[in-house]
Chain A
Amino acid sequence: MSSEPLLLEIKDLHVHFAVYGGRLKVLDGINFYMRNGEKVGLVGETGCGKTTTMKTILRVLPMPPARIPQGEIYFMNSDILKMSNSELQQVRGRGISMIFQDPTAALNPVFNVGEQMMAVIKHSENRGKRSSRQEIHQQAINSLQEVALADPERLLRSYPVQLSGGMRQRVCIGMALSTHPKLLIADEPGTSLDVTIQDQVLRLLRALVVEKNTSIILITHTLGIVRELTDRVYVMYAGNMVEVATTKKLFANPRHPYTQGLISTVPRLTGGGIASGIPGRIPDYLNPPPGCRFHPRCPYVMDICHTEKPPLFRLDQDHEVACFLYHDQKKDTTMP
């Protein structure tokens, strides 16, 4: 196992939303860690809590309605949930940057690209250090050149509507990386783009994180992208982490019934039809099923699944799964 220090660690995180009619128990005890320089994937169906987890890390979740009754998030050994606003401002930008799914919505349509980029760079500077406008402008140009955009001078003067989807996403990547963050969270960075453009953007992203030694969390429901881009994968279902493994092991030998179902439903280029999918749908968060939240849809359901929530069982050094099918394996108590 890598000896790099831990960059981010989430311990037993619960997030609830107060809505009319009760409380949505969206995150139900998430555990997560990643080391410096790691590329981690987070996969799961729509509504399983991927984006909520990431928004909690950045503390951009609207509170209320959201509440965090329990949990800790350590970023470089300090608890994000206990930070003051000014400390948080130091983390956002220079510590953690985020790329959103839809670049059109992430960019402000009434400011040109230059104004938005320069604001980001300016606010992420060390306190006390005051760069001149020219210096910031130059930095913005450099970031645009890094993401392989031609004619950055003109781009800085243009407005988001004048750019194509691929260019906008590259501007967002450039903006996110312009502050030299330790950790980049990419929330479905290619979904809104065409396949060939998505391929370009993802290749660029990979090259940049390798070059700058940035750690990255890639959130997506496109399993193929995860397989090509990450070292380790977390599989999420209904607010729980159900399986953690290195990318290779997960795709070669998925153990959790949910992961197996998910991988089998991806249409294959080799043909042979499409598996029937996972029956049922994601549970209601108002009254989630007791025990394992996956049990109403699970083909291997046992009695214990109705009453008890499965802990993570460690199958080997880097493969853990939350399912009672593997209860004879040693219970994991050694999360770093």
Chain B
Amino acid sequence: MTTDILTATDLKKYFVIGHTSRLKGKPITVKAVDTVSFSIHNGETLGLVGESGSGKSTIAYTIIGMYRPTSGNLKFRGEELFQANRKRPLHLRKEIQIVFQDPGSSLNPRRNIKEILELPLKIHQPSNNRLDQIIHLLETVDMPPEYMYKYTHMLSGGEKQIVAVARALATNPSLMILDEPTSALDVSVQAKIINLFLRLQNEFNLSYLFITHDLSLMRNVASRVAIMYLGKICEVAETADFFQRPLHPYTQMLLSSIPVVTEEEEKLKPKKVISTGEIPSPVNIPIGCSFNTRCPFVMDICYKIDPVMVEAGKDHTVRCHLFNQPELTSNT
């Protein structure tokens, strides 16, 4: 029986970016995250995939508490993360940590590694021998303790990201949000960081929300995958099932667009769905299904009604009118 560490129900985050006219105008909103529901099981890695502007990072920042959601619930082990007019209690902040995409800008260049790692320890793990804690932390991420007195500009991109991981680990969290942690790195360095993540997950029983746009990477790290398009989740499935039987036309388009390096992978890719058109601006999301401007299987209904999530198999949900007919869902 799996328990959920984090559940989001009908999560919405709208940003007001201007008004239609200067005085009495209506607000213009960007629906960055629009009615999204998902859950992260204890000890699993949920992969969140989507193109830029699809709202992946907004979800991450909302969970971590940088944004307050417009509406909807976000519960961590049953405890509401956003209580009215109240700051998030310390014990909840400790449990959820984040690793950002670009370690060059997420680490303070004026502090050395010791100082960077000291801050979360001071707040969350008060102790008399902080130096030991820091050394222990660096050892956990396979970094020599003498790095303690280095500054970030002395480190390579991969090493900086390892420091960012150590900082996130400092509070002893149970959920880590990884926001494209390797997209700024070379493949050989990426391999090292990813293997570190996998080892830490086993060691500390961590749950990950892994955000990326690299589906091949997702195949190797995630236990479940969720695909986002323009602020909405369009398909969620177990990883193996997801790659064998992608259902949503957007997922198929994504999968068939990936450049791969071996013949076996080529065979696994779905039949080429030619990618056409641009991602619409999130200010003017098309009426009906938001994918209708690029979908090769578009039907009349797609221009009128936004589809809802339907079950299309065991632990496999998809939000597309193609799967709304009951006879289709029953035989899959």
Identify the A interface with B (CB < 8 A): 45-46, 164, 166-167, 194-200, 202, 221-225, 227-228, 251, 261-263, 265-278, 281
Contact = CB atoms under 8 A, between A and B. Distances in A.
A272 B220 contact: yes
A197 B275 contact: yes
A295 B10 CA distance: 55
Contacts of A223: 187, 259, 261
B75 interface: no
Interface in B253-267: 253-255, 257-262, 264-265
Given A221-B186, A251-B261, 16 more contacts: A46-B157, A197-B278, A227-B260, A251-B262, A262-B188, A266-B261, A267-B194, A268-B220, A268-B264, A269-B258, A270-B262, A270-B268, A272-B220, A276-B195, A277-B190, A281-B156
Contacts of B264: 268, 270
B216 interface: yes
A268 B265 contact: yes
Contact of B187 (A195, A265, A273): A265
Contacts of A268: 216, 219-220, 260-262, 264-265
B213 interface: yes
B257 A196 contact: yes
B219 A221 contact: no
A196 B191 contact: no
User: What is the size category of the interface that chain B forms with chain A?
Assistant: 35 or more
Given A194-B279, A195-B258, A270-B268, A275 B51 contact: no
Residue from B214, B219, B276 whose CB has the most chain A CB atoms within 10 Å: B219
Contacts of A261: 188
B265 to A, nearest CB: 4
Given A45-B186, A164-B278, A196 B51 contact: yes
Q: Top 6 closest A-B pairs, CB basis?
A: A224-B259, A277-B191, A199-B257, A194-B51, A196-B275, A265-B191
B243 interface: yes
A195 B260 contact: no
B189 interface: yes
Contacts of B220: 267-268, 271-274
A277 B189 contact: yes
Given A167-B278, A270-B219, A198 B191 contact: no
Nearest to A148: B276
A167 B278 CA distance: 9
B257 A195 contact: yes
B276 to A, nearest CB: 7
A274 B158 CA distance: 16
B186 A267 contact: no
A225 B261 CA distance: 8
Given A224-B261, A274-B194, A200 B187 contact: no
